[in-house]
């Protein structure tokens, strides 16, 4: 497979030259529901609007602080003992450095750690604090992180900072590879109940139904079903709607709930998702 160039890997399209087909606004008139958390919807929404889409922001997920930061704070205070630091999302990065600042721990105090990020957006967020990221896997999923690290962590202490509820692939497999893995919660995701009314209204609008619903994580997929309920989800209301998935884990979750996925990103990033939506309607 041909390796993507660096401009396409940038999560914010920085220095990205739009191809000719994008300059013609290929999504003109298409109604796209953006389901990301309110604070994170901006990049995806702005790129879709730039291509002519009519964006409807309805968050299927909300980010909130954990009940206590004590376990994470304790790990931060003992940062010198860790050999590896793994951060799996920009939310985790934000919480990690916010707590470090509160504890008066400078980013440079983590310079002794090897750092792994699950994708380019997470890597960019880490590097904005002046730290070097040593590992970003080719595919932005937990299994690829494990594949890159399992031969390098035997006998090492690993700090994994993530959401309260997450897949156990990384800690399980790295422990099997001989690492001492400490998992610390930095935030949790919840269902924004206030989105239910707006979501149902958008789906039931006979004059202007959505053409696409975007899913950027397994949580957005699970919460979508939670918000509308099985009775409505399987009533045929979604038959004419394209479900767009950012990556294989999200796709697997949607399929687990018997939702057909018609748009799948080839690169598991926001730019990759936008490109997949454009490709679907162009071809």
DSSP 30: -
Please give the tally of structural domains in the chain: 2
In a domain, 1, yes or no: no
96-118: per-residue pLDDT in tens? 999 999 999 999 999 999 999 99
* Contact of 207 with 169, CB cutoff 8 Å: no
Which pLDDT does position 132 carry in this prediction?
A: 96
Domain boundary among 167, 190, 213: 190
Domain boundary among 175, 190, 205: 190
Give the rounded distance of the alpha carbon of 125 from its chain centre. 13
Nearest to 241 by CA among 216, 265, 223, 215: 215
124-165: per-residue pLDDT in tens? 999 999 999 999 998 888 888 999 999 999 999 999 999 888
Domain boundary among 140, 167, 190: 190
Q: How far is residue 116's CA from residue 110's CA, in Å, rounded to a whole number?
A: 13
Do 73 and 175 share a structural domain? Answer: yes
Q: How much is the pTM?
A: 0.79
Which pLDDT does position 68 carry in this prediction?
A: 95
Do 146 and 90 share a structural domain? Answer: yes
Which pLDDT does position 9 carry in this prediction?
A: 40
Do 213 and 161 share a structural domain? Answer: no
Instruction: State which residues form the domain around 208.
Output: 6-61+192-282
266-283: per-residue pLDDT in tens? 999 999 999 999 999 986
Q: Is the pLDDT of residue 14 over 80?
A: no
Do 185 and 127 share a structural domain? Answer: yes
Which pLDDT does position 1 carry in this prediction?
A: 39
* Three-state secondary-structure class, residue 55: strand
* Residue 37 confidence class, pLDDT cut points 50, 70, 90: confident
Do 211 and 147 share a structural domain? Answer: no
């Amino acid at each position: 497979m041909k390796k993507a160039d660096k401009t396409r890997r940038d999560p914010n399209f920085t220095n990205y030259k739009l191809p000719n087909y994008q300059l013609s606004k290929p999504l003109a008139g298409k109604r796209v529901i953006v389901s990301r958390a309110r604070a994170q919807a901006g990049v995806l929404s702005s790129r879709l609007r730039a291509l002519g889409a009519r964006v409807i922001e309805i968050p299927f997920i909300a980010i909130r602080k954990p009940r206590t930061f004590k376990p994470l704070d304790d790990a931060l205070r003992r940062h010198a003992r860790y050999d590896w630091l793994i951060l799996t999302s920009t939310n985790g990065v934000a919480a990690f450095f916010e707590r470090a600042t509160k504890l008066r721990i400078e980013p440079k105090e983590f310079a002794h750690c090897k750092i792994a990020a699950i994708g380019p957006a997470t890597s960019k967020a880490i590097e904005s604090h002046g730290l070097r990221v040593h590992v970003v896997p080719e595919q932005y999923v937990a299994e690829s992180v494990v594949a890159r690290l399992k031969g390098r962590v035997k006998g090492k202490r690993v700090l994994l900072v993530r959401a309260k509820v997450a897949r156990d692939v990384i800690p399980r497999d790295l422990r099997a590879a001989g690492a001492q893995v400490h998992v610390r919660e930095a935030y949790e995701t919840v269902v924004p109940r206030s989105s239910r009314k707006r979501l149902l209204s958008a789906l039931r609008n006979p004059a202007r139904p959505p053409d696409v619903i975007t899913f950027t994580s397994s949580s957005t997929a699970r919460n979508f079903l939670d918000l509308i309920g099985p009775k409505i989800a399987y009533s045929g209301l979604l038959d004419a709607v394209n479900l767009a998935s950012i990556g294989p884990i999200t796709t697997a979750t949607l399929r687990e709930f018997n939702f057909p996925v018609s748009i799948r990103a080839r690169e598991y990033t926001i730019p990759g998702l936008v490109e997949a939506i454009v490709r679907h309607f162009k071809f």
